[in-house]
Amino acid sequence: MSYVNVMIHAVWGTKNREPILLGESRILLLAHIRENASSKGIFIDTINAEPDHVHCLFGLNADMSLSKAINLIKGESSFWTNKQKLIKPMLYWADDYFAASVSKSQVPKVRKYIINQQEHHKKLTFNEEYEEFIKNYQG
């Protein structure tokens, strides 16, 4: 029997960085992403959002590629949100995303980082954060 324990920290933004993930609709969207991912065999450990982007720590299972997991999460969530007319204007995700593996020892640190997004973004914009991720993970 295969055993896989690969944790991924993924970040993706709204198209054109539109700040539309707000209030109750943001809470409903995140709950739906978690529920839908679970139904597709994707375990979401921690998820949070700012008005223009989402952070997600999830487990990648043995029979799913990273790109497929991200596409399932992003594609279905925007479809569902738009069908429910949850967010106006309609929700579209940017095509790009950031994803990096997280070692077991760093999972608590990443969880805390994701949970504390509101505090973190008092210091950095999403673009600054994204550039910092790329710089930190390049080597």
DSSP element (H, E) containing 120 = helix 117-120
- Residues 120, 53 contacting (CB under 8 angstroms): no
Cβ neighbours around 123 below 10 Å, total: 8
d(CA 4, CA 59): 9
pTM (global) more than 0.75: yes
- Phi then psi dihedrals of residue 97, to 5 deg: -160, 165
d(CA 94, CA 109): 26
- Phi then psi dihedrals of residue 53, to 5 deg: -165, 165
Interval 28-71: pLDDT, tens? 999 999 999 999 999 999 999 999 999 999 998 888 999 999 99
6-126: CATH class: alpha beta
Interval 95-128: pLDDT, tens? 999 999 999 999 999 999 999 987 766 777 767 7
Domain boundaries of the chain, sorted by first residue: 6-126
